[in-house]
Structure 1
């Protein structure tokens, strides 16, 4: 279990609030049991796990992309809120493994120029691939929180390894992250995955028309990628979000491939992130996106990238609160969507 810091009952007790007569998700969530990752996953599967929550504690990718850091503690922000949700008829948490955090602290050490950062991101890739492949091979869906959007590459590669097929991806993001393959960073996870053969179908929802270079758009078009822009839906109102989601889900299902559900939280208005935006998607629309795609396509995982509590304009405490509550709603939207997909 090198580089994986597993969650414990003691940590859960520190986070849980209690009122007489109430049950919280944290009372029911599965915790790691075993001395190896394989043993933990096998036991969790035997105990009924369908989902596994995993944090990635790194901000190397955004910094390697010449952006801001801070995306190291998104899961820490989220846990306090998620585990204290009420366990009731809507969801009780019994099919979710609270796995742990992929520790990358060793890769943050030393003098980190751009070339070194990009080399370190490639090392993070290897860790993500190794860990998430084991989960997916056991048919447990990772819900991955934090780190830069560079980790989409590792997630896509793990999906291909586990399913033995390439992947169809949809990404709510103002940026396509299809930048040139100039060394690994948060802006080129999808272009690297496409070049490797892991990514077969790619759609960007909410792409900002003026936050992607012409070279970037040309490269995405040459691959066969598609998009609905932020301006198409939320500014010019040429198509509704519901119409776009119906078409996206139909196209994803038509591929017959496992689906990667990606969300860069800098798509959400004023969300603390490495590239915070005032002109973004409302949080509830982001939740609807996650819920709809999870409920209407065969998702392999959910990836919520780039949340950076320290980047909140009111300071870290405010950032931890906003990131924590927002990610919690997105996680629940995914879980409920996936549970409804099983019954369709």
Structure 2
């Protein structure tokens, strides 16, 4: 269910300081009496009329990664991000009045005894909620920025785009994994293959695909679909192509489709980022920020989806993970907003 952010909850994140104005003091919230069944869409449309452009949504779940035999912990990404994001400065670069913090889609957690089948059913149940909420944001002509949960939620995001635009999306995904695994039951590794099978994905490019972290079956399936990629090794190891050139090519191909663009990032791609599949052989956070900014600036993005951050998976413990996830995801959000603002 959707837990709408209230002023009381927001103030728990906020650390005000005399002489400063924080984003948490300027961002907008829906009226606290809003009901998911009656007037969320109406209130979102009013927010659009009042100058809102971006709607920040959290997803609190880790059933998707666990259903993919990965680690849990992605339930806490939104909380970690809000602790940092809401305490950034409101100033000439970003006022905050362009942003509405909607709240968090929460799923009843399944304990460690849950079977793979139970986790996959829970992931499929969550899809319906994600589609419903994101569809309402798009219907209000607003841009969702979705934080947290597994990359399984890309399916719900893409299905919402299909529902709103009445056409499939063109997606770009910064990710060592293509998430185009066989449709064996819903989990974090097959959100894009399910979207393709259901007519929600027409074009797909994976940036930073790791050459040894995708099975041959998955690569064959992606190739048969017509998927494209630049591998992690091509750009960051063998230096066969520069990141700037790859981004130019990807943006040109996305724009050629004339489809709404789905902008995706799995933070597994970023070196040492606490996540369900953390890696030391990853890309710098600054390259991830540049990827988001470039795509958002040069393509007609329907949304930004930041998946898989898991503070508890930090080697130094949950407190360090909360800090690192919060700071990193906040930078990714700002990279998107800065590129999209006033477009």
TM-score range, shorter chain: over 0.9
Residues 183-198 of structure 1 mapped to structure 2, 5 A cutoff: 183-198=185-200
CA-CA distance at 1:14 after TM superposition: 2.1
- When normalised by structure 2's length, the TM-score is 0.96
Secondary structure at the counterpart of residue 93 of structure 2: coil
Cα pair 1:295 1:339 within 8 Å, conserved: no
What's the C-alpha RMSD, in Å, of the aligned pairs? 1.2
* CA deviations over 1:286-318 (Å, ceiling 9, x no partner): 000000000000000000000000000000000
Cα pair 2:75 2:310 within 8 Å, conserved: yes
Equivalent in 152, 155, 158 of residue 153 of structure 1: 155
Secondary structure at the counterpart of residue 72 of structure 1: helix
Equivalent in 9, 19, 22 of residue 24 of structure 1: 22
CA-CA distance at 1:110 after TM superposition: 9.0
Q: 1:55 matched to which residue of 2? A: 58
* Residues 108 and 47 of structure 1: CA distance in aligned 2, closer, same or farther (over 3 Å): farther
Cα pair 1:172 1:205 within 8 Å, conserved: yes
- When normalised by structure 1's length, the TM-score is 0.96
Q: 1:329 & 1:320 partners in 2: Cα distance? A: 14
Secondary structure at the counterpart of residue 117 of structure 2: helix
Cα pair 2:41 2:139 within 8 Å, conserved: no
Q: 1:43 matched to which residue of 2? A: 46
CA-CA distance at 1:109 after TM superposition: 6.1
* CA deviations over 1:124-179 (Å, ceiling 9, x no partner): 00000011000001111110000000000000000110111110000000000000
CA-CA distance at 1:65 after TM superposition: 0.5
Q: 2:165 matched to which residue of 1? A: 163
* CA deviations over 1:89-112 (Å, ceiling 9, x no partner): 11101111011000102x526952
Q: 1:101 & 1:58 partners in 2: Cα distance? A: 10
Cα pair 1:194 1:200 within 8 Å, conserved: yes
Equivalent in 81, 94, 98 of residue 91 of structure 1: 94
Q: 1:242 & 1:110 partners in 2: Cα distance? A: 43
Number of residue-to-residue matches in the alignment: 338
Residues 65-144 of structure 1 mapped to structure 2, 5 A cutoff: 65-105=68-108, 108=110, 111-144=113-146
Q: 2:209 & 2:113 partners in 1: Cα distance? A: 34
List alignment gaps of at least 5 residues for structure 1.
none
CA-CA distance at 1:116 after TM superposition: 1.2
